[in-house]
A and B are shown apart, each in its own frame.
Chain A
């Protein structure tokens, strides 16, 4: 609770830097009257430092996508708040979120449903630039295509003319358009073929460096999270069960659920270990 004061836009390199994005005591209940609906998240605290790469892992129903939507201020938490550089963004009307929208962008799992099939790639990439006054589309669109490794001629084509991996590149280019500080990626490689997944992982890793991005990476894939993220938050049934540095958590998981998750990852040459009767 020490970071509630407003901080300047560019924090000094002080001892304890204020988080760029934080969830404080966040709960989310869907549907029903007070306390009667489905509780997707319960009293979650997450603090994301500028420049960090944070993986949020968990299985279906763990609340990880809900947390992503709350961090993006796409939904309002039932209790608690989301802060961006110390300022509350949860519950604000859309017109007051313009600068936040430029700073925090998202890439979704399925690029086929997140790209408008009737729009050409140029317009898909230009739309957020226009909406957020984020630069001249004539120069920015070719730059963005370069950044994600697509030929500039792609701008004239429609999403269905691309493969799954290329579509995900388009979605990443669109997210980079407004020059965000934070990129939230919700299972961005889960729908891709194995041989293409590595290309997108390499692209993300390169872009994090090139654009000095803070990454929030939502995934059920423990190996991919380990590859991309320096910190991990483990969610189970809407609650954080473990959080810490990637190397530490993967080498010495403290919570039983984290251990079960890691043991269940298939590895070359042997059967994964099912959790000891805990899974439903």
Chain B
């Protein structure tokens, strides 16, 4: 049984479909990256999995933790899961932390919400957790208020809180986007280490292909509420099948530390991401896609194309192959795998 199993998750806002039929499974220790731009539905997917959707949004499908469906639970049951079995790290720690409470106490509070222990024990554990997220003087820093800490430190407090109750799944939504690049590197290394130590499953949401590719062995690319491509990260990056993934990849690769900087024009995806609710019917990418035909007015199913999955009528590198690959677990090296 998977740690987390999301089945056909669909989120609607009135008549608009914000997330459409997202499915994935996570085993202990696995790391899944969700790539997408604004309006792709990646954050709403995470919030739905956590049971944190705004009241105006409606989720259907299943979010299975073991054999229990989170979407069928009462709010009280969900509170046990949230912060316990599943924990989330948000993009902006300044708004996620309580500004009026010392950080040590906030962590202790999270512990006592899920575990039976005395206040002193919780406080002691909070200090230990701060040490685990690399605070140099945890006993003193536990007494800080969030505003007294740097952005990177605040995000590490969020991480301490997330691992406080030994979660099976950690969801991190753009956890390093607001950080400086050197602090981001530090935070990513720390997250990778802690997730391994805890043997927790990780869902890392990011707009940055490079961040996900370094952290996650599996990747899901979202556009317009749909999963358009998914599979082993190295395989997806080596031979993207969906034109959107290929476009993102070409753009990222063309402006990097080893790209040809003399070129006047870098490849780009024409147009812009439509507002939520105004994606075209059928394939959401067809309004920006140079391979689109009349056929694309119907949403293609996500199916095996080569060594991974894509939802495209006209995938790059030829049509859908009839066979589903055995298991997308090969720790393939980017440089050598699947250059076609």
Contact = CB atoms under 8 A, between A and B. Distances in A.
Interface of A: 59-60, 163-166, 193-199, 201-202, 205-206, 209, 220-224, 226-227, 246-247, 250, 260-275, 278-280
B337 to A, nearest CB: 10
Among B184, B208, B253, residue most surrounded by chain A Cβ atoms (within 10 Å) = B184
A223 B215 CA distance: 20
B1 interface: no
Contacts of A272: 181, 184-185, 188-189, 214
B182 A227 contact: no
Nearest to A166: B272
A198 B266 contact: yes
A269 B334 contact: yes
Contact of B213 (A199, A269, A273): A269
29 contacts: A59-B183, A163-B273, A165-B272, A193-B272, A194-B208, A194-B209, A194-B252, A196-B269, A196-B273, A199-B268, A201-B266, A205-B264, A209-B264, A222-B181, A227-B255, A264-B184, A264-B185, A265-B181, A265-B257, A266-B210, A267-B256, A267-B257, A268-B249, A268-B253, A268-B256, A269-B214, A270-B213, A270-B214, A279-B182
Contacts of B201: none
Contacts of A60: 151, 180
A198 B208 CA distance: 14
B266 A227 contact: yes
Contacts of B264: 202, 205-206, 209
B213 A268 contact: yes
B256 A274 contact: no
Interface residue SS majority, chain B: helix
Nearest to B180: A59
A272 B267 CA distance: 25
A221 B184 CA distance: 12
A158 to B, nearest CB: 15
A4 B107 CA distance: 59
B185 A267 contact: no
A165 B272 CA distance: 8
Contacts of A194: 37, 207-209, 248, 251-252
Nearest 6 CB-CB pairs, A to B?
A: A198-B268, A266-B210, A59-B180, A274-B186, A264-B185, A195-B269
B38 interface: yes
Given A220-B181, A264-B184, 9 more contacts: A195-B273, A196-B268, A201-B255, A209-B264, A223-B256, A268-B256, A274-B189, A279-B183, A280-B153
B272 A268 contact: no
B129 to A, nearest CB: 20
Contacts of A275: 182, 185-186
Given A195-B269, A198-B267, A269 B237 contact: yes
A164 B268 CA distance: 16
B64 interface: no
Interface residues of B, number: 50
A163 B270 CA distance: 13
A195 B261 contact: no
A222 to B, nearest CB: 7
A196 B247 CA distance: 11
A165 B273 CA distance: 10
A264 B189 contact: no
Contact of B210 (A220, A246, A267): A267
A95 to B, nearest CB: 39
A262 B335 CA distance: 21
A246 B189 contact: no
Contact of B37 (A193, A209, A263): A193
B142 interface: no
A260 B249 CA distance: 25
Interface in B300-319: none
A195 B253 CA distance: 12
Interface in B237-268: 237, 247-249, 251-257, 259, 261, 264-268
B234 interface: yes
A220 B268 contact: no
A266 B184 CA distance: 9
B247 A195 contact: yes
A59 B192 CA distance: 23
Contact of B257 (A59, A226, A260, A273): A226
B150 interface: yes
A266 B208 contact: yes
Contact of B268 (A163, A195, A226): A195
Nearest to A229: B261
Nearest to B39: A193
B251 A195 contact: yes
B152 interface: yes
A63 to B, nearest CB: 14
B130 interface: no
A246 B185 contact: no
B189 A271 contact: yes
B97 interface: no
Contacts of A280: 150, 152-153, 183
B261 A227 contact: yes
Given A196-B272, A201-B255, A206-B264, A271 B192 contact: yes
B169 interface: no
Contacts of B192: 271
A250 B269 CA distance: 28
Given A206-B264, A268-B209, A269-B214, A220 B257 contact: no
Among A165, A199, A220, residue most surrounded by chain B Cβ atoms (within 10 Å) = A199
B152 A193 contact: no
A198 B265 CA distance: 9
